[in-house]
Structure 1
Amino acid sequence: MGHVLMEHRSGLVRSAHVSLAGGRGEREAALLMLGKLAGRRRRTLAADKAYDTADFVAASRALGVPPHVAQNTSDRRSAIDGRTTRHASYGLSLKIRAWIETHFGWLKMAAGLRQMKQRGLERVDALFQQAMAASNLVRLPKLMAAGSVA
C-alpha cells in the first residue's frame, strides 16, 4: 500500500511511504510520517473515514496534530467530536484533502504505475517515492505561475 502525506497550502507531497497491506496499515503509516515531520508550524491532519477510530484520533492529538478526519457515523459513534468540527478549518481541510487524489491519478496514468513492475517492499518503496517526487516536479510550474512558491 502506498501512503502519502501532503502539504495543504501547496498540494505538494511531503512524505511518501509503502507498507504491506493490512487492516491498520494506513493509520500506522500516517502516524509514522507525522512523527518524522520537523518544524514547529501548527499542523492539522485531514483524512477520510477510515481514520475515524478512537486510537488514531488520540494518537494524532498526542503528537500535537489535530485530526480533521471525515466523520464515520454509519451505525457507530464518531471519534471526531464538536471541538474539531466546530472550526471552519475542518470543512476546508476535508475539501483540500481531495487534492491527494491528483497525485495518485498522475502516478497511475502518466507515470505508468497502475501495476508495480518491481517486487519487494524496498524496491516498490523506492519507485513510489521517486514517482511522488516527480509528481511534485510536475506541480511546481503551476504553483510558481500562481505565485504560491517563492
Structure 2
Amino acid sequence: MRGRPKQQTTLFSLRMPGDRVPAGHPLRRVKDMADAALAALSPTFDKMYSGTGRPSIPPEQLLKSCLLMAFYSARSERLFCEQLDYNLLFRWFLDMGMEDASFDHSTFSQNRDRLLEHDVARRFFLAVMGQAQSAGLTSSEHFSVDGSLIEAWASLKSFRPKDEKDDNQEPPDDKGNPTVNFHGQKRGNATHASTTDPEVRLARKGSGKEARRPKPGAGRPGARAASLKSARPRYRRTGR
C-alpha cells in the first residue's frame, strides 16, 4: 500500500532533542566529559560576569559550540548559528530546548576577549586532561613532541600590506566576501599580514605549492594513549 505524506503535522510532541541522538553516538561521551570539566569552571564563570543586568548566553554553551564547530568543520560562526536553529544534535549537545532561540553569531566576538582574559580555554583543556589522568589514560614516562601547521580560520583575502593605511583602501563590494585580485602581486610574511588574525603566517609545503594559512604550533602527545597533553603556538621570523 502506498504511503502518503501527512498534510497536517503533529501539534504537540513529547520527545526531547536527546531522544533523537543514538545511544552509541560518540558525542554522548564527549558531552559527559565536557560538562564535567565545565562544572569545575563554574566559579571562574561567576567572576567573568556582573551580578546584575541581562543574562548572557551561558559560557558553557559558547565553549561547547567551539567543540561542535571543530568536530563538524563549520566554516564560520554565522553558519554554525544558522545550523543551530534546526540541528537537533547541536541543540542537545548545548542543552537547548526546542523553544530556545539560536544565539547570534556576534555573541562569539563579544565574549571571546572575556574568555581569553580569564584563561578559560587553557583551564578547560587542563580540566579534560585531569579526567584522562584520573582514568589512567596518560603517562608522564613516555611522550613525544609533534610540530604541526594548524590551519587557521582566516581567508587569504584578509592578507593586506603592512604599510597600507585605512585611507588608501577602497570600500569592499561585499563585506562578507569581497572581490580581491592578487594577480602579479608578491605576498610574504615580511610585507603582508592578516587583518582578521595577525598571528597567521603564510606557508607552503614546497615549491609550486599553494600558499596556506597555518598557525605553527607544537603538541606534546602521550606516546601510549596518543592523547594531546599540551600545545602552544610557535613562531619563527621569516619573510617567506
Query: Shorter-chain TM-score: which interval?
Result: under 0.3
Q: Does 1 or 2 have the higher relative contact order (CA < 8 Å, sep 6+)?
A: 1
Which protein is bigger by CA-based radius of gyration? 2
Normalised TM-score (structure 1):
0.25
Structure richer in helix, relative to its length = 1
Normalised TM-score (structure 2):
0.18
